[in-house]
């Protein structure tokens, strides 16, 4: 959930460099093969979206990055994030959002585990690929680690569709908190390689 800045600053056309940056950002708190794989997927999807990729295209780049990320960090037992992203996205594609939510919660899982939360975010995006705000709302309603899932889905959807795709009122609530997220995003984008 906190890897979005890496996706903003690193181009997805050099996945080894992007994954190395993700691994560097993960060393202190999340230095496992599963965690780096999931973080690489999210960062790569954000980066691919910024480069003009659709949600489906960003998902494909995410799967490739997850594969590279799985080779980093300490090995831990856990389902393969790479395979679960594609499986989860395909599982709900074309389903109504309410039905997709039930399938995501019941089958993909929404726990703190990377191998559940990251595929759940990509499943949400597959269910509502053209509506970033609805993706955020769907993710936030799932239960479990829904704030993390919504943050990941929102970052990827926002990168693919841009800020203008979100309702003005929703963006206004964030802006009113004084976080200056647009300025922060612009400063990170200025560092993009």
Lowest mean pLDDT among 41-45, 85-89, 173-177: 173-177
CA angle 53, 58, 60 (to 5 degrees): 125
Which pLDDT does position 89 carry in this prediction?
Answer: 98
Q: What is the pTM of this model?
A: 0.94
Domains in the chain, please, with CATH? 4-189 (1.10.4080.10)
CA angle 153, 154, 157 (to 5 degrees): 85
The mean pLDDT value for 59-79 works out to 95
Which DSSP helix (H) or strand (E) runs through 26? helix 15-26
The mean pLDDT value for 16-22 works out to 97
Task: Please give the span between the terminal C-alpha atoms of the chain, in angstroms, as a whole number.
Answer: 21
pLDDT at residue 95 greater than cutoff 80 = yes
pLDDT in tens, 37-64: 999 999 999 999 999 999 999 999 999 9
DSSP reduced 3-state for 55: helix
DSSP reduced 3-state for 142: coil
CB environment 28-60: b (16+ within 10 A), e (fewer): eebebbbbbbbbbbbbbbbbbbbbebebebbbb
Which pLDDT does position 193 carry in this prediction?
Answer: 59
Which pLDDT does position 88 carry in this prediction?
Answer: 98
pLDDT in tens, 103-150: 999 999 999 999 999 999 999 999 999 999 999 999 999 999 999 999
Q: What are the beta bridge partners of residue 32?
A: 74
Average pLDDT, the chain: 94
């Amino acid at each position: 959930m906190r890897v979005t800045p890496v996706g903003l600053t690193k181009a997805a056309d050099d996945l080894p460099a992007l994954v190395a940056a993700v691994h560097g950002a993960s060393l202190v708190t999340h230095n496992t093969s599963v965690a780096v794989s999931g973080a690489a997927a999210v960062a790569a999807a954000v980066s691919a979206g910024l480069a003009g990729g659709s949600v489906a295209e960003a998902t494909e780049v995410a799967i490739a990055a997850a594969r590279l990320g799985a080779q980093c960090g300490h090995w831990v037992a856990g389902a393969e994030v790479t395979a679960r992203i594609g499986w989860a996205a395909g599982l709900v594609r074309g389903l109504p959002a309410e039905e997709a939510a039930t399938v995501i919660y019941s089958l993909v899982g929404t726990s703190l585990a990377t191998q559940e939360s990251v595929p759940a975010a990509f499943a949400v995006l597959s269910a509502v690929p053209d509506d970033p705000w609805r993706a955020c709302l769907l993710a936030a309603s799932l239960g479990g680690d829904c704030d993390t899932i919504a943050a990941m889905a929102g970052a990827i959807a926002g990168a693919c569709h841009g800020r203008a795709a979100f309702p003005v009122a929703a963006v206004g609530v964030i802006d009113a908190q004084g976080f200056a997220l647009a300025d922060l995003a612009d400063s990170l984008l200025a560092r993009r390689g």
